[in-house]
Each structure stands twice: as structure tokens, then as C-alpha cells.
């Protein structure tokens, strides 16, 4: 059985692996949201940033990319993804059913926010922009994460009004 991974945030521009195939795909009943406080990669415990997560939402939809991993690389990629994504247990790993643009159903590994975790948050867009504009973590500034994700969504033709608003607002906040 093919091993697929769903990319909806940083995996779009920094997967850390080379897929053998990739297709645009949708996940129903979830949405892409800056609902996870980042205390490692894009912020610190003292000054958390925000990163994207899949958050359950009845009737919601998240469009991203399904990456197929070569069989020979599957175990290594899975191990590396766990080290990267499960660093603080704010995400849990699950297999979800994606639907490609041509209707193909793809079972894929996805990392979903644990709403009971201390890093789960819900802020309005302005508060998100304020946090992202100033946070820096072990993998760099939170702004880099936002701008790279927004740019790749645009390149892929994926509309995300919240992401577009945040990118514009954070650019204005960080302009000097």
C-alpha cells in the first residue's frame, strides 16, 4: 500500500523528503488554522509563536498537497516526520482520507491539533498577526513560516483568505 503524507503548512515548502508523486488534495471536515502555540520551531516558551494545524470543523475543508513517499523511504520519512511534528504532543498522528482534484481517494498520514493540549489556542486574525510579527524560534522567525506558506498556497492556486489577510497584515506590521 502506498504511503502518503498530507501537507497543508510548512510541509508544502519544506517537506524534508523527496516525494515520488504529489497531487493537490482536499481534506473535508477540517480547516487550516494558526491554532497551535509554537514553543520550539517558531517561538519559545517565553515568547510563543503560532504555527498551522488541522483543526476539526464540521463542513470545513483544507486544500493542500498529498505527497506519495517511495516504499524504500517510507519508514525513514515516517520516523523523521514524527520527530519533527510530535515534538510536544500538541499534534496527534492520524490517517485521513483526502480527495484529489480528479476524485482519487487517498489515505494519507496527517498531523492534527489536539484541542486538549496546552498549546491549542484560538485567537482572532489581528492577534495572530501581532504574535507572528514578532516571534522567533529554533527554525527561524514566525514571519518566514507565514510568508513561505502563503506564497506556496498562491503558487499552487489554493485560495486561503485568512492566510492572505495575515500575510498582508504582518508585512505592514514588520515594515520599517
53 is written with which cell numbers? Answer: 494545524
Whole-number Å distance between alpha carbons of 75 and 135: 33
Nearest 5°: the CA angle 100, 105, 108 is 90
Could you list the beta-strand ranges (E) of 15-48.
21-38
- Of residues 46, 79, 85, 97, which has the active-site annotation? 85
Cβ-based neighbour number of residue 13 at 10 Å: 17
Q: Which of these, 122, 149, 120, 145, lies nearest to 135 by C-alpha position?
A: 145
Question: Residue 144 catalytic?
Answer: no
Which CA distances in Å does 33 have to 13, 26, 72, 78?
A: 17, 15, 33, 23
Residues identified as active-site: 85
Amino acid at each position: 500500500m502506498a504511503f502518503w503524507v498530507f501537507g497543508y503548512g510548512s510541509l508544502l515548502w519544506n517537506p524534508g523528503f523527496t516525494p515520488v508523486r504529489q497531487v493537490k488534495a482536499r481534506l473535508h471536515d477540517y480547516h487550516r488554522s494558526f491554532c497551535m502555540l509554537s514553543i520550539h520551531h517558531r517561538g519559545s516558551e517565553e515568547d510563543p509563536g503560532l504555527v498551522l494545524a488541522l483543526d476539526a470543523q464540521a463542513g470545513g475543508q483544507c486544500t493542500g498537497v498529498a505527497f506519495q513517499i517511495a516504499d524504500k523511504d517510507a519508514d525513514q520519512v515516517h520516523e523523521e516526520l514524527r520527530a519533527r511534528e510530535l515534538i510536544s504532543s500538541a499534534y496527534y498522528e492520524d490517517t485521513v482520507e483526502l480527495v484529489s482534484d480528479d476524485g482519487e481517494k487517498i489515505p494519507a498520514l496527517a498531523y492534527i491539533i489536539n484541542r486538549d493540549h496546552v498549546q491549542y489556542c484560538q485567537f482572532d486574525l489581528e492577534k495572530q498577526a501581532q504574535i507572528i510579527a514578532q516571534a522567533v524560534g529554533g527554525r527561524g522567525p514566525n514571519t518566514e513560516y507565514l510568508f513561505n506558506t502563503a506564497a506556496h498556497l498562491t503558487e499552487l492556486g489554493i485560495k486561503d483568505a485568512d492566510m492572505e489577510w495575515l500575510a498582508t497584515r504582518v508585512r505592514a506590521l514588520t515594515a520599517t
